[in-house]
Amino acid sequence: MSEIITDIVDSPLQHLAIIMDGNGRWAKQRKLPRLAGHQQGAEAVTRIVDECVKRKIRYLSLFAFSSENWGRPQSEVDALMGLLLQFLVSQQQQMVAKGIRLQVIGDRLRLSESVQLALADAEKKTVAGNTMTLILALSYGGRDEIMRAAKQMAQRAIAGELDINQLNNEKFATFLDTSEFPDPDLLIRTSGEVRISNFLLWQTAYSELYFTDVLWPDFGAVELGNAIDVYMCRQRRFGLTNEQLEE
């Protein structure tokens, strides 16, 4: 028990997750096409990645394209995929130089072949990065991820390779796309919406949540600092009592 408590009290911000929302509204406020908002959103990604490296955050998860975003107009889906490819081309060398490892979560088989290849290439070239892991959630939905994990587990059980009596939360988590990463400590959502929208449903069970009205293209070092300041003042109890933590 005391080991758990030490872990809680000493929990720094190791994993930050962000729901980047508000690109469309940012563009609308300026009477610009939605693509202009996404372009500024991509700039914000680069800024925040650098800021997280500076702040020695080990894992940064970004919700870049949800499984539900496939339902957007085809022109917007294509534009978002184009921006992703541009980001990979323009940032790959920088990521290698800064020691950033790129990893992807989500149903990548739904992505086009060219995007899948570019992602695999970027993952391979950045594999040695050990400063920070940038986790891009693409074609990602929390329920979809849990369902894929459950199916894989069921297949293993039917094949006699898995004893369902041995299953527990830790074992289940090894079937998720995020099996290599710790759970997020802090989840930020921009743009004033106050919901999780199917992002990291399993993993955010005990994450601290922070919502800001700032639209994603306007989110920068100052806004990130504000969120982290709030996080640092939170007491994470993980179901334990205040007295246990103070002991």
Residue 193's CB is within 10 A of a number of other CB atoms, namely 13
What is the arrangement of strands in the sheet containing 15-19, beginning at the earlier edge strand?
Answer: 100-105, 132-140, 59-66, 15-19, 186-189, 208-211
Binding mask 170-189 for ligand FPP (x = CB under 6 A): --------------------
Q: Per CB under 6 A, does 23 bind ligand FPP?
A: yes
> Does position 210 bind ligand FPP by CB under 6 A?
no
Choose the catalytic residue: 21, 177, 183, 185. 21
DSSP conformation letters of 139-157 = EE-HHHHHHHHHHHHHHHH
Residue nearest to ligand FPP (CB): 24
Q: Note whether 87 binds ligand FPP by CB under 6 A.
A: yes
Q: What is the full DSSP assignment across 104-126?
A: EES-GGGS-HHHHHHHHHHHHHT
Is residue 190 a contact point for ligand FPP (CB under 6 A)? no
The reply on whether position 212 binds ligand FPP by CB under 6 A is: no
Does 42 contact ligand FPP by CB under 6 A?
yes
64 binds ligand FPP (CB under 6 A): yes
Residue 165 a catalytic site member: no
Stretch touching ligand FPP by CB under 6 A, among 16-24, 48-56, 198-206, 235-243 = 16-24
Rounded Cα gap, residues 118 and 88, in angstroms: 7
Give yes or no for residue 83 binding ligand FPP (CB under 6 A).
yes
Phi, psi of 138 (to 5 degrees): -130, 130
17 near ligand FPP, judged by CB under 6 A: no
Nearer residue to ligand FPP within complex by CB, 41 or 141:
41
Among 8, 25, 116, 240, binds ligand FPP (CB under 6 A): 25
Q: Which of 69, 131, 197, 244 is the binder for ligand FPP (CB under 6 A)?
A: 69
Please, what is the minimum distance in Å from the beta carbon of residue 134 to ligand FPP? 9
Burial profile 39-71: b = 16 or more Cβ within 10 angstroms, e = fewer: bbbbebbeebbebbbeeebbbbbbbbbbbebee
Q: Is 106 in the site for ligand FPP (CB under 6 A)?
A: no
The residues that bridge with 60 in the sheet, in sequence order, are 16, 134
Q: How far is CA 165 from CA 133, 152, 227, in A?
A: 34, 16, 41
- Spot the catalytic one: 7, 10, 23, 69: 69
R_g of the chain computed on alpha carbons: 19
Say how many residues touch ligand FPP, by CB under 6 A.
Answer: 19
Q: Is there a catalytic annotation at residue 69?
A: yes
Distance CA 142, CA 172 (A): 14
The H or E element containing residue 75 is helix 74-98
Residue 136 burial (CB count, 10 A)? 23
Q: Which residues bind ligand FPP (CB under 6 A)?
A: 20-25, 38, 41-42, 45, 64, 69, 80, 83-84, 87, 136, 191, 216
Active site residues: 21, 69
